[in-house]
Amino acid sequence: MKSKGITNIIGIFVSVIAGVISLYTQSQDPQTGLILYLALVGAIIIYFIISYVVDIIKEKVEQLNKNTESSEILRKDLNTLKEKLDLKNELDNLKIRMLNLEGLFKIKGKKGAIDPRMIIIIVIIILLYLYLKSKGFFQ
């Protein structure tokens, strides 16, 4: 903002000096002074038009740079968030797999494991049958 103000002050100062000089020369030689005066006025108008356009372009470039920085920050934040979501999805998938494995182990544990008490009960029934057979109950 300060450079814009300094540029405008210098432009106005040069324009005023050029106007004063052109007015002085116009009083000395009216025809040449008029041509120089019109040339200076045209140059001053072109200067301020170009100055206005340059200021607008500088503002747009600064805004573009700020937007670029903001978009970079947002992109990094989104990538971080995406990584966290991916990690959460992977953890959820692992949790589901673990629950499935636990369920399978529980089912297999019930099918494959024999309760030792059942074996002893079967042995007792067999021994009781043999005892009763030896006493003559089953002939």
User: pLDDT per residue over 64-93, tens digit each?
Assistant: 999 989 888 988 888 888 888 888 888 888
Q: What pLDDT does residue 89 have?
A: 85
pLDDT tens string 124-136: 888 887 878 787 7
Domain ranges for the chain: 2-134
CA-to-CA distance for 137 and 11, rounded, in angstroms?
132
Q: What pLDDT does residue 60 have?
A: 92
Q: Which long-range contacts (CB under 8 A, 24 or more apart) does 47-54 make?
A: 47/11, 47/15, 48/11, 51/7, 51/8, 51/11
**Is 60 exceeded by the pLDDT of residue 109?**
no
| Tokens (6 digits) for 36 | 């120089």
Instruction: Give the CB-side neighbour count of residue 107, counting CA atoms within 13 A.
Output: 6
pLDDT tens string 40-52: 777 778 877 887 8
